[in-house]
């Protein structure tokens, strides 16, 4: 057997909205695509209740009236930049409720669903794509957006249900993904290091304080070196023009400082069906074949 005969690795990212695939783990994605890994993004909602966050487009009635279609076009462009497959799970964006107390979520939106039922479409995706690795958000959604929290819930549910032959039999034969990760790149250790690097370069930078940051204390397990793919990440992020201000805080730290100051995207390994050792530098640790022994050594 040669390396060309070995099966391709497969990675599934599950995200709440179009643009999340570009703001969370996109450099990791680009790295693995370049290495020949098959990567798919499952997008839970269409982002149709998302605000227009780019001040250059805010207030444009044409944009606001066609936001659902515009976001689909933005997703198509980001998908092309990242080189991934992408599937819509078809749920309705919940929006981000504001107020004290916040208003109830719209009837029938993603955040109101029973995750045991809503996991069904994702079970089908997992069984058809057969990923070795699945990523999503932590139990708080990374931040407490109802769609992000529900994305976490249905991913955990589907990760387990897809392997159960008695669950969702109409969605095909069972598939056990080997590893489940949570995205963890927005954490205090990274922010502190980048802020220090900015000050050393004579530049001002103050990241917002995080009252609670469990990610710096025992939850970070996996650090994927992908700094050379930060430009691809940024290009994919800019493709979501209604969501990203190209002059805004996402791009406040110069690229070279980001690459030198914190060159990884970071994760928490939550489930592994294969042996591995922490810390990891590869989402596929334990899944790659052992180095082949040259024939002349056999």
Q: Known binding site for Zn(2+): residues?
A: 17, 20, 148
How far apart are the C-alpha atoms of 264 and 230, rounded to whole Å? Answer: 10
Q: Is the dihedral of CA 39, 43, 48, 51 positive or negative?
A: negative
Starting from the edge strand earliest in sequence, which strands make up the sheet with 85-91, in order?
85-91, 38-45, 10-15, 133-136, 179-183, 264-272, 222-225
How far apart are the C-alpha atoms of 142 and 148, rounded to whole Å? Answer: 7
Q: Are 157 and 116 in contact (CB under 8 A)?
A: yes
How far apart are the C-alpha atoms of 264 and 193, rounded to whole Å? Answer: 12
Q: Coil, strand, or helix at residue 283?
A: coil
- What residues pair up with 269 in beta bridges, in sequence order? 181
How far apart are the C-alpha atoms of 265 and 9, rounded to whole Å? Answer: 19
How many other CB atoms are there within 10 angstroms of residue 181's CB atom?
26
Q: Are 234 and 248 in contact (CB under 8 A)?
A: no
Which residues, 6 or more positions from 279, have their beta carbon under 8 angstroms from its beta carbon? 220, 221, 222, 223
Written as six digits, the tokens of 169 are: 């039999």
Residues that constitute the known binding site = 17, 20, 148
Q: Where are the alpha helices (DSSP H) in the chain?
A: 20-23, 26-34, 61-65, 67-82, 115-118, 120-129, 146-161, 188-200, 230-238, 255-261
């Amino acid at each position: 057997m040669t390396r060309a005969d070995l099966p391709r690795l497969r990675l599934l990212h599950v995200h709440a909205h179009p643009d999340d695939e570009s703001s969370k783990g996109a450099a990791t994605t680009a790295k693995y695509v370049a290495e020949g890994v098959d990567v798919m993004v499952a997008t839970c909602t269409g982002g149709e209740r998302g605000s227009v966050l780019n001040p250059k487009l805010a207030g444009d009635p044409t944009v606001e009236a066609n936001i659902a279609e515009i976001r689909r076009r933005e997703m198509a462009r980001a998908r092309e930049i990242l080189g991934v497959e992408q599937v819509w799970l078809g749920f309705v964006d919940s929006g981000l409720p504001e107020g004290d107390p916040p208003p109830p979520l719209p009837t029938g939106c993603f955040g109101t669903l029973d995750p045991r039922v809503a996991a069904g479409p994702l079970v089908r995706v997992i069984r058809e794509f057969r990923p070795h690795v699945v990523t999503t958000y932590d139990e708080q959604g990374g931040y407490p957006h109802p769609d992000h929290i529900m994305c976490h819930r249905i991913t955990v549910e589907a990760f387990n249900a897809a392997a159960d032959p008695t669950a969702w039999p109409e969605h095909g034969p069972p598939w056990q993904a080997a590893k489940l990760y949570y995205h963890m790149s927005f954490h205090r250790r990274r922010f502190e290091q980048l802020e220090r690097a900015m000050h050393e370069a004579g530049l001002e930078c103050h990241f917002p304080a995080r009252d609670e940051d469990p990610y710096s204390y025992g939850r970070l397990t996996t650090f994927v070196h992908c700094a050379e793919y930060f430009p691809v990440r940024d290009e994919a992020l800019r493709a979501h023009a209604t969501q990203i201000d190209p002059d805004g805080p996402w791009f406040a730290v110069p690229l070279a400082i980001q690459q030198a100051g914190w060159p990884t995207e970071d994760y928490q390994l939550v489930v592994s069906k294969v042996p591995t050792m922490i810390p990891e530098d590869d989402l596929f640790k334990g899944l790659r074949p052992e180095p082949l022994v040259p024939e002349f050594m056999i």
